Amino acid sequence: MENKNAQYSSVYRAREIWTDPGQPRIFAPAGINTFAVMLGSGKPEPTPHRYGPGGAVIANQTPYLIDAGDGIWRAVANAAIAHNEMMINALSPNNLTRLFITHLHSDHAAGLPSLILLPWIHGRTRPIEIYGPIGVKNLVESLLEADQADIEERVHGPEQKDDIGWRATAHEIAQPGLVYSDENMKIEAFHHPHGGFKQNFGYRFSNNERIIIWAGDGIESDSYLEAARDADILFSDASPVNNELVDTPWRGDQKNIAKIFHMQSRRLAEFASQANVKTVVLHHEQNYSEPYDPDILVNEVKQYFSGEVVSARDGDVF
């Protein structure tokens, strides 16, 4: 009898899963106070070498977190101790108070409970502010309700934990535009299509030093192009230039849906050139090459884009 679960169990055998991309690197120019760190470069596949989607822009030691994929709390720790602990103070628990969610696919929010509660257990005494599409308020409030037993015990039990650091406030973004600003950073949301989502945001981080675009998942749009103009760095997903993708046993037939969920590599290259972007950083890569080639998407983008192209590793600094 045929094993109907064979296609699902093969997820653990895919070469993409067990390929170690290597140690994190520093690409950021020396002497700047604004840079970005890749926290999680992975996808839903359970690779032990890549945490789920997440990143941070850090300005003057203040972190602005983006997405909360699977393992985000450990991804933060991984980055904090990397590169001779250059981010250990910036990423201290009490600084993890600003999060910007691109969209509500589960792989981009699966780590949200840990990001809300675990830094509190380790000393955060301020609430976390969470910005995202309509629906994020329901998500946050539901998670807090589900964890009330844990919160009550820690606050009123033997630990006598602070009663503020577990709290989270959700801010729903009704439309693209300015969503946050302070003395370090201006953050603007832009919309670009991603599957069937009515709201899917990327974020433009800007100050007097740099412009950093975290596009999240999706394909091009006019608002995305306008936001990306003259950016120093563009963080983007990517799929192969050839939409006739191989059928992957761990995700099924992707041929008909990849083109509406993720930016095709050649189109990304042309888009980045049109926007006058300096550096393109690939993450959340939809790499369905067979045989598996970890460099295929970088090489495809480089064919049509003259700037720097990097396939991100967790802990990379840009």
Listed residue (93, 60, 16) closest to 284, CA to CA: 16
For residues 151 and 113, is the Cβ–Cβ distance under 8 A?
A: no
For residues 272 and 307, is the Cβ–Cβ distance under 8 A?
A: yes
- 15, part of any domain: no
Give pLDDT tens digits for 230-270. 999 999 999 886 644 444 444 455 555 666 677 889 999 99
Give pLDDT tens digits for 46-72. 899 999 999 999 999 999 999 999 999
Listed residue (234, 223, 222) closest to 268, CA to CA: 234
Listed residue (233, 218, 219, 216) closest to 317, CA to CA: 233
Total domains, the chain: 1
Q: Which two tokens stand for residue 143?
A: 């998670």
- 191, part of any domain: yes
- 18, part of any domain: no
- 223, part of any domain: yes
Q: How, if at all, do strands 177-181 and 186-191 pair?
A: antiparallel
pLDDT above 80: residue 171: yes
Helix (H/G/I), strand (E/B), else coil: 16: helix
pLDDT averaged over every residue in the chain = 91
- 216, part of any domain: yes
Q: From CA 11, how far away is CA 250, in angstroms rounded?
A: 5
pLDDT above 80: residue 195: no
Residue with token string 């606050």? 155
Q: From CA 108, how far away is CA 27, in angstroms rounded?
A: 25
pLDDT above 90: residue 25: yes
Give pLDDT tens digits for 135-164. 999 999 999 999 999 999 999 999 999 999
- 4, part of any domain: no
Q: Which two tokens stand for residue 119?
A: 């830094």
For residues 161 and 111, is the Cβ–Cβ distance under 8 A?
A: no
Query: 239 - beta bridge partners?
Result: 264
CATH of the domain at 240: 3.60.15.10
* 9 exposure class (CB count in 10 Å sphere: 0-12, 13-18, 19+): exposed
Helix (H/G/I), strand (E/B), else coil: 202: strand
Q: How, if at all, do strands 233-238 and 211-214 pair?
A: parallel
For residues 95 and 82, is the Cβ–Cβ distance under 8 A?
A: no
- 317, part of any domain: no
Q: What is the pLDDT of residue 197?
A: 74
Boundaries of domain holding 93: 24-311
Query: 285 - beta bridge partners?
Result: 238
Q: What is the pLDDT of residue 7?
A: 54
- 86, part of any domain: yes
